[in-house]
Amino acid sequence: MAPSKRAVVLLSGGLDSATCLAIARAVGFVCHCLSVDYGQRHAAELTAAARVAAALGAQEHRVVHLDIGQFGGSALTDSTIAVPTGGLAPGIPVTYVPARNTIMLSLALGWAEILGAQDIFVGVNAVDYSGYPDCRPEFIKAFEDMANLATKAAVEGHPVKLHAPLIDLTKDDIIRRGNALGVDYALTVSCYQADAVGRACGLCDACRLRQDGFSAAGQTDPTRYQAAG
């Protein structure tokens, strides 16, 4: 693959998206990272995204400000809805943000077309996840199909490829893959309710999945937790 081939990488600042960026870079893409300030509870993950983009050699990192949180409907955007801390439960949790991945991928698609990039990377996972419907392979395939109907680039013979390299990996597999690619997970923030300096709560679904992943991988979790002071 030519080293100048471009890709847009969605980068949240968490463990999965950092690994996804490392994978895109490892296979030869020049990576243009996109984060979205969508009205989430804290800005710590956006700060983490900037750290990760710099550490992993992204060509550039942009943050789009689009307050979908004004509609509410999710514990991640509405402070009146409590983030669950009782452990993983069946069903789609209240941390699901309506249309979030659809919106983020649409923004990535638009930027990719402007850049002349035919590849988009997203760190969604359908194994160790919280039951979100927009993390499933069926959604990724449907969005790619839509993208290739909706864009000038695709109509003119330059279709887009949507890469979800983590889609069928367990969290410990993701961590091992990232370590092999030089990801410093201490730079990332996965917690749904991290404090202002990025310390994790240790109780939400995202924290539990992260902790379990490091444990299963036989590695030390570098996350800073609020209880640790």
Q: Residue 32: enclosing H or E segment and its boundaries?
A: strand 30-37
Instruction: Give the C-alpha separation, 31 to 21, whole Å.
Output: 7
Mean pLDDT of 109-127: 96
Does the structure show a pLDDT above 80 at 158? yes
User: CA 52, CA 50: separation in Å to the nearest integer?
Assistant: 5
Please name every residue paired with 7 in a beta bridge, in sequence order, or none if there are none: 31
Domains recognised in the chain with CATH numbers:
6-228 (3.40.50.620)
Q: Is 63 helix (H, G, I), strand (E, B) or coil?
A: strand
Alpha carbons 213 and 228: distance in angstroms, whole number: 20
Q: What is the pLDDT of residue 41?
A: 87
Picking from 222, 207, 218, the residue whose alpha carbon sits closest to that of residue 88 is 207
Tell me the residue length of the chain. 229
Q: What global pTM score does this model have?
A: 0.94
Overall average pLDDT of the 86-114 stretch = 93
Find how far residue 204's CA is from the centre of its chain: 17
Query: Average pLDDT of 204-210?
Result: 94
Please check whether residue 52 is in contact with residue 187, taking contact to mean a CB–CB distance below 8 angstroms: yes
Q: Which residue has the higher pLDDT, 25 or 229?
A: 25
Q: What is the mean pLDDT of residues 58-74?
A: 94
DSSP state at residue 60: E
Residue 57: pLDDT band (50, 70, 90) is very high
Query: What pLDDT is attached to residue 200?
Result: 97
pLDDT for residue 64 is more than 70: yes
Give the H/E segment covering residue 120. strand 119-121
Phi (first) and psi of residue 156, to 5 degrees: -90, 15
Residue 51's SS3 state is helix
pLDDT for res 129: 65
Q: Nearest to residue 213, comparing CAs of 179, 182, 185, 173?
A: 173
Rounded average pLDDT over 53-59: 98
Q: Find tokens 């709560």 and name the residue.
A: 201
Per-residue confidence (pLDDT) for residue 219, from 0 to 100: 95
Residue 227's alpha-carbon distances to 22, 170, 198, in angstroms, are 30, 27, 13
**Range in 4-18, 76-90, 155-169 the model is least confident about:** 76-90
Residue 24 · residue 53 · CB < 8 Å? no
What is the chain's mean pLDDT, rounded? 94
pLDDT digits (tens, 9 = 90+) for 215-227: 999 999 999 999 7
Angle of helix 171-180 relative to helix 205-216, nearest 10 degrees? Answer: 60
